[in-house]
Amino acid sequence: MSAPVYDTYLDESQLPYFFCPGCGHGMITDHINQALVRLQIDPHKVVIVTDIGCSGLVDKYFTTNAFHGLHGRSVTYASGIKLADPELKVIVLMGDGGCGIGGHHLINAARRNIGVTVVVFNNSNYGMTGGQHSVTTPLESITSSTPFGQLEQPMDICQTVAVNGASFVARTTSFDKGLANLLAMAIQNEGFSLVDIWELCTAYYVPNNHFSKSLLENTLSRLNLPTGVIHQQSRPEYCHAYHQTVVKIAIKNPMPPRLMQTRYQSELKKRLGIVIAGAAGKKINSAATLFCRGAVLSGLWATQRNDYPVTVKSGHSVSEVILAPDEIGYTGIAKPELMLLLFKESLPFIQTQLSQLSEADTLIINTNLLPIQTRARVISIDFNQTDRWAAKKEFWVMIALAKALNSMRIYPIEAFKEAVSARSEFAADNLAAIDASG
């Protein structure tokens, strides 16, 4: 075997470590270095992402790239780096504190099986802020924020990511002589890996709990937390899967043609405000868009704003359409010139606009909603007249819009038909509905 190119990944100028005497962080850092030396990865291709806490001090000891981010969010930066450049080896160093505040990100990174390695410096408390309890603090432990004993069950970080799709999960202690080997395996794994390393915080957890190396090992067995490689599964890494599936399917779906040539003539001389008062699930918005596209084909300018409740499939659905011979600025309609009143669900939402209609304006209304008080010219449509349309309520709006074009000088109905034909969805039924308005 040829001599290794990289005999260390530690920056000698930053040594010795700044950690408390007896703290496990230095041991873990040494083992990460040994793992990298074993793997001989170009340091330019390694990004060490650190969290907040004493483990967040570790990146400065490495000659690799480094990203020191916000508390609990290290996995998100690492994921972004990996997604953007899957060639990089991205290693997250975080504490048990980061696993608590950022637990959601750990779970979701595991679900994606994104190719990031997470190394947990797990010393059962928040060392940097004075020894408060963390998600891994064992029951009854004394910490500065549990002076009378911890009541919360410690979280099993390994099982949490394992059941959610991580592809390599291991647990050990900082005293494990095989730690570098375990870390190398984790880094080499294509998908999401996590190594949970239990260690001593000699500043806080050890004195507060009369803790020691042997008690640490006892604690693991008492908590029924096995050590070694505890979970491995083969499943596609996220970035790889994205390029293999999403990209290949996406490129087969080009954007529909958007540009429209003026092919018809409109006689509309001034702005026409139209309110379409429908009901959810009755294709109000999509019909209004086709109506606008017909207007654009006729050289008009159009805007369309929709209003509907958060529950998309029930309640009202109102589309406000403005057509004009010139560019439209303000898109509100205080007083419409044309109203299509099709379903009762929208009545409460258009009362003000309804009351504004004058003698010069038009109201196209479903006969079921008669009688109605209005000054406008009323055109009623009995949708129940023919068996074909009585039950097909989602086409009533097309019939009403065609009625408007047939009874008012807005733009040619042929333009509306062309707009409808250009969108393949429901084109045949839509065209039949337009013809039905006679």
Partner 1 sequence: MRELINGAQAIVRGAIDSGCTFFAGYPITPATEILLYMIRELPKVGGIAIQGEDEIASMGFCIGAAMTGKRVMTATSGPGISLYSENIGLAIMGEVPMVIVDVQRMGPATGGATTVAQGDIQFLRWGTSGGYPVIVLSPTNVPECYSLTCKAFDLAERFRVPVFLATDKETVLTLATVDENKLVPVEVRERKFASPQNLFIPYQASSPDEVPALSPFGGAHILRFTTSTHDEKGQLTKSPEKVGNLNARLAAKVEAHVDEISMVKADLQPNAETLIISYGVTGRAVEEAIRAMREGGKLLSSLIVYSLWPVPEKAIKDALAGIRRVIVPELNLGQYRIEVERLVGDGVEVTGIQRVDGELISPEEIIQRGGLL
Minimum distance of partner 1 from residue 225's CB (angstroms): 26
- Residue 253 lies near partner 1 (rule: CB under 8 A): yes
DSSP at 24: T
| Per CB under 8 A, 240 contacts partner 1 | no
- Which member of 69, 95, 191, 278 binds partner 1 (CB under 8 A)? 69
Binding mask 34-53 for partner 1 (x = CB under 8 A): ---------xxx-x-x----
Which is nearest to 137 in space by CA: 146, 147, 124? 124
1 vs 249, beta carbon nearer partner 1: 249
List the one residue out of 385, 368, 379, 295 whose CA is nearest residue 339: 379
Q: How far apart are CA 159 and CA 170, in angstroms?
A: 10
Q: How many CA atoms lie within 13 A of 69 on its CB side?
A: 20
Q: Are 171 and 225 in contact (CB under 8 A)?
A: yes
**Residue of 64, 167, 227, 266 that binds partner 1 (CB under 8 A):** 64
Q: Quick one: which segment of 29-37, 196-204, 210-218, 246-254 binds partner 1 (CB under 8 A)?
A: 246-254
Question: How open is the CA angle 255-304-438, to the nearest 5 degrees?
Answer: 95
Yes or no: say if 230 and 162 are a contact pair by the CB < 8 Å rule.
Answer: yes
Task: Name which of 114 and 381 has its Cβ closer to partner 1.
Answer: 114
Q: How far is CA 167 from CA 161, 176, 264, 273, 296, in A?
A: 9, 22, 61, 59, 54
Check residue 67 for interaction with partner 1 (CB under 8 A): yes
Which span sits near partner 1 by CB under 8 A: 175-183, 191-199, 260-268, 336-344?
260-268
**Least spacing, CB of residue 301 vs partner 1, in Å:** 4
| 148 forms part of the interface with partner 1 (CB under 8 A) | no
| Contact between 263 and partner 1 per CB under 8 A | no
Return the residues of window 108-147 that contact partner 1 according to CB under 8 A. Answer: 108
User: Could you tell me if 94 and 122 are in contact, meaning their C-beta atoms sit under 8 angstroms apart?
Assistant: no
User: Which residue stretch of 249-257, 338-346, 407-415, 429-437 sits at the interface with partner 1 (rule: CB under 8 A)?
Assistant: 249-257
Helix (H, G, I), strand (E, B) or coil at 328: coil
Minimum CB–partner distance for residue 310 and partner 1 (Å): 6
Nearer to partner 1, 65 or 380 (CB): 65
Spatial CA neighbour of 3 closest among 26, 37, 53: 37
Region label for 235, one of left (φ > 0), alpha (ψ between -120 and 50) or beta (otherwise):
beta
Q: Give the one residue of 296, 400, 415, 436 binding partner 1; rule: CB under 8 A.
A: 296
Helix axes 427-436, 396-407, angle to 10 degrees: 50
| Binding status of residue 33 toward partner 1 by CB under 8 A | no
Least separation in angstroms between residue 204's CB and partner 1 is 22
Residue 18 binds partner 1, judged by CB under 8 A: no
For residue 388, the surrounding DSSP H or E stretch is: helix 387-390
Please state, in angstroms and rounded to a whole number, the distance separating the CA atoms of residues 17 and 138.
28
Which of these segments, 59-67, 226-234, 420-428, 429-437, binds partner 1 (CB under 8 A)?
A: 59-67
Pick from 66, 155, 347, 432 the residue near partner 1 by CB under 8 A.
66
* Residue (75 or 166) nearer to partner 1, CB: 75
Binding-site member from 87, 177, 269, 373 for partner 1 (CB under 8 A): 87
Torsion of CA 128, 217, 209, 199, to 10 degrees: -10
Tokens encoding 394: 């989602």
Number of residues located near partner 1, criterion CB under 8 A: 68
DSSP codes, 202-247: TTTHHHHHT--HHHHHHHHHHTT---EEEEE-----HHHHIIIIIH
Alpha-carbon Rg for the chain in angstroms: 34
Q: Is 329 in the site for partner 1 (CB under 8 A)?
A: yes
Q: Which of 1, 3, 5, 259 binds partner 1 (CB under 8 A)?
A: 259
Q: Contact, 86 vs 240, CB < 8 A?
A: yes
Furthest-apart CA atoms within the chain: distance in Å: 95
Span of 103-111, 136-144, 358-366, 420-428 interacting with partner 1 by CB under 8 A: 103-111
Identify the CA nearest to 173 among candidates 350, 308, 24.
Answer: 24
Rule CB under 8 A: choose which of 84, 147, 224, 387 binds partner 1.
84
Instruction: Kindly state whether residue 332 participates in binding partner 1, applying the rule CB under 8 A.
Output: yes
The least CB distance from residue 355 to partner 1, in Å, is 16
Q: Which residues bind partner 1 (CB under 8 A)?
A: 43-45, 47, 49, 57, 59-60, 63-70, 73, 75-85, 87-88, 104-105, 107-108, 242, 246-247, 250-251, 253-255, 258-262, 289, 292-293, 296, 300-308, 310, 327-332, 334
